[in-house]
């Protein structure tokens, strides 16, 4: 009985309600009047029954109007929902009827608009994806594919793939195995897995050629139907891109080496010109001033003081020039090697900053670099930059420089301080050109640079460079 009642429409329920109320009322009225009436009251009885019939008809009309006001908007909403469910996503419900029903229709339309917006965004991503994306159903028939898939498998358009069997994209000798694997994957609890290296998959293009694939596949159950979506990447393109990246990196390293050689050559030229030209001129000025003092013993005091000031300025300029020349290209680095150059550098650092810097050289480390001018220059420049950072940023009171090796054909330079340390984020700052320059300089020689240190624990800069593969300086 309950099941029968649940299948009755709203309009029929309203009519049943009206009949349930009116029929007993009409029966009671008829029984009441018929029980005590005589023959001469029959006219009155028929009038009463006519009035009751009129009321009954009015009630039925009201029920019809009420059912139309409620049922029609709900039926319209149901038709719109059925149309959307059948795939007509452009259909919208008519906003009509009582305020409550109209509000439901508006919310239904907003939901459809939001869904369409999401579908549009997803479709745009799907269409623009550079990887090939193919979706197949339980029967392994392609139901969706993007332009990248059509291009990868050699088809003119996506339409040639939609509705085609998925096995069209698989070499024939692998199809049976593919069916078995897909069935096992669909029956398993795993919803995502990657397929490819080291188990290379092969795809089949429209022209019959085979190519290696890197594939990831997912499984989704929707409305009782299983959908398998695979994302493919042509390994030939991946290998080509990786090879291009390796070549580009090698070209960059050669460029860094060439630029460094040009920079060091330019430093050497400028240092030579400063030494041969400016220092000689400043020396001649001092000699001229001394000659003037010796030739005129009775010169006024003011003139003598002026000559002494000129001599002092020239002497200071010679010292500054000598320091600049040493920074540009230390003659000691070329003549005696890295260890004496580092000793001079550290002595100047101690004098200039007042910090306690100590050099520790392992036996034989300097001798291993005598025939490697490229490594010598690289390590010297790294030491310069590290000491500069220690003096200006580390807030350290002591610094230690240690040169060791060769061990396994490599020489190691380690600069450590007891300063405030360095944060990981500071090492990755785009403005950290000092660290970037050190890293590229070392990498160009096949070496490795490490920068370690936590806030409050100081900073350690360590460079390990192969001696045998050193580039010429």
What is the CATH topology of the domain spanning 330-473? Heat Shock Protein 90 (3.30.565)
Strand partners, 169: none
Question: Around Cβ 82, how many Cβ atoms within 10 Å?
Answer: 11
Output the pTM of the full model: 0.46
> For every one of its 473 residues, what pLDDT tens digit does the chain have, with 9 covering 90 and above?
434 444 445 555 555 555 555 555 555 555 555 555 444 455 565 665 666 666 666 666 655 655 666 667 777 778 888 887 777 878 888 887 667 677 888 888 888 888 888 888 888 888 888 888 998 888 889 998 999 999 989 999 999 999 999 889 988 888 888 888 877 777 776 555 544 443 568 888 999 988 888 888 888 777 677 888 888 888 777 667 777 777 777 777 677 667 766 776 777 777 777 777 777 888 888 888 888 877 777 778 788 788 888 888 888 888 887 777 767 767 777 777 888 888 888 888 888 888 889 999 887 777 777 777 778 888 888 888 888 888 888 888 889 999 987 787 888 899 999 888 876 666 555 555 567 777 777 887 888 888 887 777 888 899 988 886 444 44
Identify the DSSP state of 277. Answer: I
What is the CATH topology of the domain spanning 127-239? Beta-Lactamase (3.30.450)
- Say if residue 239 is exposed, middle or buried (CB neighbours under 10 Å; 0-12, 13-18, 19+): exposed
Determine the straight-line distance between the first and last CA of the chain, rounded to whole angstroms: 101
Distances (CA, A) of 40 to 32, 108, 454: 16, 64, 118
Pairing of strands 398-407, 356-361: parallel
- Where do the structural domains in the chain lie, given as residue ranges? 2-85, 127-239, 330-473
- Measure the CA–CA gap between 364 and 374, rounded to whole angstroms: 18
Identify the DSSP state of 286. Answer: H
What token pair was written down for 421? 């340390």
For residue 94, what are the contacts with CB-CB under 8 A and spacing of at least 6? 73, 76, 80, 105
- Measure the CA–CA gap between 439 and 442, rounded to whole angstroms: 5
Distances (CA, A) of 224 to 135, 189, 221: 16, 16, 6
What token pair was written down for 379? 């390590």
What token pair was written down for 176? 């049976």
- Measure the CA–CA gap between 307 and 95, rounded to whole angstroms: 103
């Amino acid at each position: 009985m309950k099941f029968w009642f649940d299948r009755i429409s709203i309009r029929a329920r309203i009519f049943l309600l009206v009949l349930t109320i009116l029929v007993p009322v009409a029966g009671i009225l008829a029984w009441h009047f018929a029980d005590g009436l005589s023959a001469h009251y029959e006219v009155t009885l028929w009038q009463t029954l006519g009035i009751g019939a009129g009321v009954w008809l009015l009630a039925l009309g009201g029920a019809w109007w009420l059912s139309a006001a409620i049922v029609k908007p709900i039926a319209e909403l149901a038709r719109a929902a059925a149309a959307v469910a059948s795939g007509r996503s452009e259909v919208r419900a008519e906003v009509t009827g009582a305020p409550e029903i109209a509000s439901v229709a508006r919310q239904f339309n907003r939901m459809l608009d939001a869904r369409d917006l999401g579908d549009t965004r997803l479709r745009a991503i799907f269409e623009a994806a550079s990887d090939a994306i193919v979706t197949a159903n339980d029967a392994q028939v392609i139901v969706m594919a993007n332009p990248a898939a059509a291009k990868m498998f050699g088809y003119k358009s996506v339409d040639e793939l939609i509705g085609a069997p998925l096995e069209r994209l698989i070499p024939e000798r692998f199809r049976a195995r593919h069916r078995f694997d897909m069935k096992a994957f669909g029956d398993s609890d795993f919803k995502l897995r990657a397929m490819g290296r080291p188990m290379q998959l092969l795809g089949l293009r429209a022209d019959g050629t085979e190519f290696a694939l890197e594939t990831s596949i997912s499984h989704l159950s929707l409305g009782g139907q299983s959908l398998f979506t695979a994302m493919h990447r042509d390994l030939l393109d991946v290998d080509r891109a990786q090879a291009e990246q390796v070549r580009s990196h090698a070209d960059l390293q050669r460029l860094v080496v060439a630029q460094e050689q040009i920079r060091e050559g330019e430093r050497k030229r400028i240092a030579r010109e400063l030494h041969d030209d400016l220092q000689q001129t400043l020396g001649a000025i001092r000699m001229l001033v001394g000659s003037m003092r010796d030739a005129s013993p009775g010169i006024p005091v003011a003139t003598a003081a002026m000559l002494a000031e000129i001599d002092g300025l020239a002497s200071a300029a010679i010292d500054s020039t000598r320091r600049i020349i040493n920074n540009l290209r230390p003659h000691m680095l070329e003549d005696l090697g890295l260890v004496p150059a580092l000793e001079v550098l550290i002595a100047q650092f101690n004098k200039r900053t007042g910090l306690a810097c100590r050099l520790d050289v392992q036996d034989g480390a300097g001798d291993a670099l005598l025939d490697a001018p490229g490594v010598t220059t690289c390590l010297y420049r790294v030491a310069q930059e590290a000491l500069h950072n220690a003096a200006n940023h580390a807030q350290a009171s002591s610094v230690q420089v240690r040169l060791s090796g060769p061990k396994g054909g490599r020489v190691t330079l380690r600069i450590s301080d007891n300063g405030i340390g360095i944060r990981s984020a500071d090492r990755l700052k785009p403005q950290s050109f000092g660290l970037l320059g050190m890293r590229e300089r070392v990498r160009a020689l096949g070496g490795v640079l490490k920068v370690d240190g936590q806030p409050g624990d100081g900073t350690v800069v360590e460079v390990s460079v192969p001696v045998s593969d050193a580039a010429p300086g």
